[in-house]
Chains A and B, each alone.
Chain A
Amino acid sequence: MNTAGAKHNILVKIVSRGPLNLIILLICAAWLIPSFGLFVSSFRPAHLILSTGWWKAFKSPFAFTLENYSKVLSTANMGRSFINSLLISIPATVMPILIAAFAAYAFAWMHFPGRDFLFLLVVGLLVVPIQMTLIPVLMLFNKLHLTGTFLGIWIAHTGYGLPFAVYLLRNFIGELPEEMFESAHLDGASHYTVFFKLVLPTSVPALSSLAIFQFMWVWNDLLVALIFLGGNPSVAPMPLTISNLVNSYGGGWEYLTSAAFISMLLPIVIFFSLQKYFVRGILAGSVKG
């Protein structure tokens, strides 16, 4: 009875601030319904998806099935693509961050001629839209037989991710306390030790935001995969496979709904479990070119 009473009180509060809550609830509903409709549909039999609205799924006779998922995983290359997406995204997240951290360390704590100019150059590269680079890189990749390979797309994503990663990490690593470095060097620690034992561990906040941002960016990327992996289905990540499905099964909603949800699974889990870092990464990433 008590909990029911408490619930009642909350209800009264919500109603008393009626208009405001109503507007917010309507906006939230409008934002959720598109994904929710697709989610429900992905568990409905194909003939029902095509003949009745997804909201009818909640009226009897209830007809839910996992068949769409098993079909799309086995016949539409989605199982392979899920693995490919992982194989592409993980190295394409680790590589730019590690390489950027090397450079950021040099920019922040070493003295060399042209340091400020070179850092400015890196920041300047933030303005370059990926489109500006596609043709020359594709020509180069064709010559080196890197098109359609994992190695090719890893280094492509690494190159494109670097300006922002260097910029962000340079600012973070530059603000670490100077005494930390002085005492380490006095103790005879090498740069190698300082970097891996001091710089990386203390930069975890910046590294994790950057990692989530880069991972999501690569995971959801279509353009880079389309250009550099183009015609090779055996290495295609999920966005590429789904966009091909859209073209070949215009109305095959049983494939498209389940495929789209498989691709959304990991980002949604990351989103709900690491929302704080995700938001921070997105905020910091707002200047990425």
Chain B
Amino acid sequence: MGAVVGVPAVLIAYVRLGEGLIGKIKGKKQLNVRPWLWLFPAFILLIVFLIYPVVNTFILSFKNASSSSFVGLKNYIFIFTNHDMLIALKNNLLWLVFVTLLTITLGLLIAVLTDRIKYEAVAKAFIFLPMAISAVAAGVIWKFMYEFKPKGTEQIGTVNAFFTAVVPNFEPKAWLFNPPINTYALMIVYIWMWTGFCMVILSAGLKGIPNSLLEAARIDGANEWKIFWKIIIPTMSSTIIVVATTMVINVLKVFDIVYVMTNGTLGTEVIANRMYKEMFNFHDFGKASAIAVVLLLAIIPVMLVNIKRFGQRRG
């Protein structure tokens, strides 16, 4: 527990001592040295944890498993030809399309619907709550939801019990074990976690539409459906893009849920989980690095759009 107090104490002492030393320097030199005292801790950590590793990973991606010799583009060729890698790439693409579309659609739908009720805050809190939970806990929650018992025995998993009760002659399913349904079962967990995030941002955007605009349209005789498509969607387009780009980046990096629930077996592999396996199960740092580079290259264009938009929103 000492660290809880000790860590900030060390940092504060660093600045205090540093400022004391700088105070002894005379004249203009003082002004030249001071900024670096305040920037130093941040930059040393940024160099060690981000700048150096990015360069190093890039180099390692052209080397063999133990990083002892260069192998050219072999690791990249592996990524785009290996059977398991292709499954991972295909799944990430499916995740990208379905999860992004569904979280945004559901988030927008819930934002628009709850905008019309009195208990808006409570309803939104329920939807947003999974955001506070770790992906690991969410994985446990949904493994329990998907629990499977053979037909005829009592179902303890909510999903199978629900369908058995509602659909006549329903065959209970092992949702996490049957491809291709298992990949979609994992996506549902992610959608459950992230819809609240989309809802919160979209709801904030929705509140930003001036009421006079909506009233004017209503007076002109536009129905709610028309108002949604002709006014709400166009005015919110930039917010929707921010949410979409953020979701695309999150989904590209999806790891925890897959790792905990299926560990990528039975056709559920995704890029980030595959990278973990190359790193720790197969000890192939070359291939793992190449996978990371591919991930970075996929993220950069989306992220640039996001930062630009974010900057505009602030400005």
- Tier of interface size on chain A: 35 or more
* List of B residues within 8 angstroms of A195 by Cβ: 15
Type the 1/0 row for B185-220, where 1 means its CB is closer than 8 Å to any CB of A: 000000010011100110010000000000000000
Partner of B289, one of A105, A128, A135, A140: A135
Q: Are A220 and B141 in contact (CB-based, < 8 A)? A: no
Contact: B60 with A135, CB < 8 Å?
Answer: yes
CA distance A31 to B19 in the complex (A): 53
Contact with A along B48-88 (1 / 0, CB 8 A): 11111110110010000000000000000000000000000
Check: B140 CB closer than 8 A to any chain A CB: yes
The distance in angstroms between the C-alpha atoms of A221 and B132, with both chains bound, is 12
Write the nearest CB–CB distance from B87 to chain A, whole angstroms: 18
Q: Is A133 within 8 A of B19, CB to CB? A: no
Q: Does A176 sit at the interface, judged by CB under 8 A?
A: no
Which residues 236-293 of B have a CB within 8 angstroms of A? 242-243, 246, 249, 252-253, 255-256, 259-260, 272, 275-276, 279-280, 285, 288-289, 291-293
A221–B253 Cα distance when bound, in Å, is: 13
Are A271 and B129 within 8 A (Cβ)?
Answer: yes
> Are A166 and B3 closer than 8 Å at their CB atoms?
no
Chain A residues within 8 Å of B166, by CB: none
User: Is B307 among interface residues, defined by CB-CB distance under 8 A?
Assistant: yes
Residues of B within 8 A of A94 (CB): 4, 7-8
B275 and A246 form a contact (CB under 8 A): no
Chain B residues with Cβ below 8 Å from A181 are none
* B105 CB → nearest A CB, Å: 13
Which of B94-102, B225-233, B296-304 has 4 or more CB atoms under 8 Å from chain A? B296-304
What are the residues of chain B within 8 A of A77 when measuring CB–CB?
Answer: none
Q: Which residue of B lies closest to A253 (CB)?
A: B144
- Within 8 Å by CB of B145, from A34, A191, A192, lies A34
B16-56 vs A, CB cutoff 8 Å, 1 = contact: the mask equals 10010001000000011011101101110110111111101
In the bound complex, CA of A162 to CA of B291 (Å): 24
Within 8 Å of chain A (Cβ to Cβ): is B113?
A: yes
Whether the Cβ atoms of B34 and A28 lie closer than 8 Å is no
Chain B interface mostly: helix
In Å, the complex CA distance between A242 and B133 comes to 13
Q: Which of B42, B130, B134 contacts A100 (CB 8 A)?
A: B42
Q: Which residue of B lies closest to A41 (CB)?
A: B144
| A256 in the interface (beta carbon within 8 A) | yes
Asked whether any CB of chain B lies closer than 8 Å to the CB of A51, the reply is yes
Interface range on chain B: under 10, 10 to 19, 20 to 34, or 35 or more?
35 or more
User: Do A112 and B32 touch (CB < 8 A)?
Assistant: yes
B129 touches A35 (CB 8 A): yes
Is A222's CB under 8 angstroms from B142's CB? no
The answer to whether B137 and A34 have CB atoms under 8 Å apart is: no
Cross-chain contact A38 with B4 (CB below 8 angstroms): no
Q: Decide yes or no whether B310 CB sits under 8 A from chain A.
A: yes
Minimum CB–CB distance for B116 against chain A, Å:
6
Q: Are B127 and A31 in contact, with the CB atoms below 8 A?
A: yes
The answer for the CA separation of A135 and B53 in the assembled complex, in Å, is: 8
Q: Find out whether the CB atom of A260 lies under 8 angstroms from the CB atom of B141.
A: yes
**A287: nearest residue on chain B (CB-CB)?**
B310
Contacts A52-B154, A136-B56 given; indicate if A110 touches B34 (C-beta within 8 A). yes
Chain B residues with Cβ below 8 Å from A9 are none
CA distance A140 to B60 in the complex (A): 14
Of A60-68, A149-157, A203-211, the one contacting chain B is A149-157
Query: Which residue on B lies nearest to A48, using beta carbons?
Result: B156
Q: Of all chain A residues, which has the CB nearest B14?
A: A102
Pick the contact of A155: B31, B35, B45, B304 (CB < 8 A). B45
Interface residues of A in 66-121 (CB under 8 A from B): 87, 90-91, 94-95, 98-100, 102-103, 105-107, 110-112, 115, 118
Chain A's closest residue to B45 (CB) is: A159
With a cutoff of 8 Å between Cβ atoms, the chain A residues found around residue B7 in the complex are 91, 94-95, 154
B113 touches A23 (CB 8 A): yes
Interface flag for A122 (CB, 8 Å) = yes
Which residues of chain A have C-beta atoms less than 8 A from B1's C-beta? 87
Contact A162 B8 (CB under 8 A): no
A191 and B19 contact, CB distance less than 8 A? yes
**Nearest CB in chain B: distance from A111 CB, A:** 8
CA gap between A230 and B123 in the complex, in Å: 39
- Cβ of B131 < 8 Å from any Cβ of A? yes
Within 8 A of B (CB), among A16-75: 17, 20-21, 23-24, 27-28, 31-35, 37-38, 41, 49-55
Which of B16, B35, B42 is A112 in contact with, Cβ under 8 Å? B35
| Contact between A135 and B200, CB atoms less than 8 A apart | no
Asked whether A131 lies within 8 Å of B275 as measured between CB atoms, the reply is yes
Is A158 part of the binding interface, using a Cβ–Cβ cutoff of 8 Å? yes
A269-B249 Cα distance, complex, nearest whole Å = 28
- Given A31-B126, A98-B8, A110-B38, decide whether A126 and B132 contact each other with a Cβ distance below 8 A: no
Query: Chain A: residues with CB nearer than 8 A to chain B?
Result: 17, 20-21, 23-24, 27-28, 31-35, 37-38, 41, 49-55, 87, 90-91, 94-95, 98-100, 102-103, 105-107, 110-112, 115, 118, 122-123, 125-138, 140, 150, 154-156, 158-160, 162-163, 166, 171, 190-192, 195-196, 216, 219-223, 226-227, 230, 238-239, 242-243, 246, 253, 256-257, 259-261, 263-264, 267-268, 270-272, 275, 278-279, 282-283, 286-287, 289
Q: A91-B7, A159-B49 known; 11 other A-B pairs, CB under 8 Å? A: A24-B123, A38-B141, A106-B35, A132-B292, A134-B292, A137-B49, A190-B19, A191-B38, A257-B140, A260-B137, A263-B134
